[in-house]
Amino acid sequence: MIKWMFKRPRVTAALLLLAGLQAHATPVVLQPFEARFMVNWHGMTAAESVLKLTADGNDRWTYTATSEARGLARLLSQGPVRQVSSMRLGPEGIQPLHYTADDGKRSSERDIDLHFDWEKLRVTGVSANAAIDEPITSGTQDDLSVQIALMVELANSRTPALIKTYGDRGAREYHYSREGAETLQTPLGAIDTVIYRSARSGSPRVTRYWCAPSLGFLPVRAQQKRLDDVEWTMDIRGLTR
């Protein structure tokens, strides 16, 4: 959502794990939604992010993430950052079909346009002006569809040990685990949450998500730390379905 707003570290789309899901019977039913988050970066208000999931019919969905800088962060941004993932939900779970990302700058040198072919198990397209044509494995997600895929797992009482993604930095693997529970005070009221941890092997950064079972495991807060340093925190400000 704000992944290109700052050079280091770059906030990946995986930091905003959000889906409008019903957290009971299998199979999970996706629900259209729109949610707003405020992003705090190293102690300053940095951006507002809006996530929107829409139904396209025939188990096809479009997930859009848009971030606009706020406060002093406007000096580092030329325009809104926008990412879009088209996906389908089937017996095999979430499968990304087409992923695009625009960093908001006039130059397109860091933009992304990827297509996922599940018959050939390949991803093709362009990332940062580089041609992409690489193999993928079953279950691979893009930097947005991973959010929906994770929610589907949690809503079905499964915590994935590992989720693979393909996005702005190629193929990556994220390891997940549950850490505890906490009740948070939010603009939506007091909400009971369970905390999930996500990290890549060898990375000093850890991301945590406060997911609300009563809201279909919607994360009402997300936070990334590099060792003991809190780099950013995202808190929900509004939700409509």
What's the start-to-end Cα distance of the chain, in Å?
A: 20
Instruction: Say whether pLDDT at 187 is over 90.
Output: yes
What are the backbone dihedrals phi and psi of residue 139, each rounded to the nearest 5 degrees, phi first? 95, -5
Instruction: Say whether pLDDT at 207 is over 60.
Output: yes
Mean pLDDT value across residues 113-126: 96
Q: Where do we find the tokens 């007091």?
A: 190
What does the pLDDT read at residue 18?
39
Q: Which one has a higher pLDDT value, 38 or 43?
A: 38
Q: Judge whether 207 lies within some domain.
A: yes
What does the pLDDT read at residue 169?
74
CA 135/CA 116 separation, integer angstroms: 10
- pLDDT 10s digits, 56-89: 998 999 999 998 887 554 445 556 889 999 999 9
- pLDDT 10s digits, 7-35: 333 333 333 343 343 333 345 567 889 99
Q: What is the number of residues in the chain?
A: 241
CA 181/CA 191 separation, integer angstroms: 11
Average pLDDT over the chain reads 83
Supply 48's token pair: 């507002």
What does the pLDDT read at residue 202?
86
What's the pLDDT band for 45 if we cut at 50, 70, 90? confident
Q: Judge whether 2 lies within some domain.
A: no
Report helix, strand or coil for 98.
strand
Give which of 200, 197, 97 is closest to 150, Cα–Cα: 197
Mean pLDDT value across residues 160-170: 85
Q: Judge whether 129 lies within some domain.
A: yes
User: Identity (one letter) of the amino acid at 210?
Assistant: W
Q: Which one has a higher pLDDT value, 190 or 160?
A: 190
What does the pLDDT read at residue 22?
39
Could you give the number of structural domains in the chain?
1
Q: Which one has a higher pLDDT value, 237 or 150?
A: 237
Q: Judge whether 114 lies within some domain.
A: yes
* Cβ-contact 13, 211 below 8 angstroms: no
CATH number assigned to the domain comprising residue 190: 2.40.360
Q: Which one has a higher pLDDT value, 139 or 15?
A: 139
78: containing domain:
13-240
Supply 58's token pair: 């025939």
Q: Judge whether 154 lies within some domain.
A: yes
CA 128/CA 109 separation, integer angstroms: 5
What does the pLDDT read at residue 11?
36
Q: Judge whether 143 lies within some domain.
A: yes
Q: Judge whether 7 lies within some domain.
A: no
Supply 118's token pair: 């599940």
Q: Give the whole-number percent of the chain exceeding pLDDT 70.
A: 82
- pLDDT 10s digits, 226-236: 999 999 999 99
Q: Judge whether 8 lies within some domain.
A: no
